[in-house]
Structure 1
């Protein structure tokens, strides 16, 4: 399953539309004012699905994911010198980044590929191509991508 996430340039709050490969809307992401990033994920008709919330006052970046009010897990960045590494306390998932942090792969606890994320800069916007192996993981993978993008945004502020 392939998703495309196009970030809007100069938005006051993080707002994204996520599209299927055919161009139809799969998810909508809306940022809310908060200390740190607070992103809510909705399906195409507008029903609330999940939240990505940045934990503040931590040594390394951390994000919590909720499905509705249910806590799913915590994404945290590991201190590394050569390439970024993120872990998610859900089924042993982890993220590895490639040269200059433009490409990521998400693996499960058995080192099986869950998703491949590629980032391109087109017309002054960041566009992510998200290839998800199992379509049932699409929402969780999207939460990962949003957390990693928020971490990079915070680092560049």
Structure 2
């Protein structure tokens, strides 16, 4: 069952099994606010168990580009296109949010981003491989983020 994320009243719906559910809900709401403000697009998520194709897509890019496989359980995904950019998100139980930004007509503007919920430890899969910048968010506290550029075609 899909859920359109409310960024005015942050909710842990769908994220209850996460030990950092409140912080992860803040990150999810932060993303929802961004897409509403920039593109007037509602940010809708679906349980990962109902979106295997989306999860497989993100896992394939992570594996082929950087040999990354996360142990944490995927809770939710989101996949949509605004303008000429496809966005795909996976929210993990440990508090990690992964997003793929894939510009359909410009290979130089494709990337994978990582966002860590407030107080979340850097996952061992990312330790020492990426530098994380801090960003303040009214909805999510302090978010740490990093990214890498996608080189392949997906």
Q: State the TM-score, normalizing by the size of structure 2.
A: 0.30
Greater RCO (Cα-Cα under 8 Å, separation 6 or more): 2
Structure number with higher helix proportion: 2
Relative to the length of structure 1, the TM-score reads 0.29
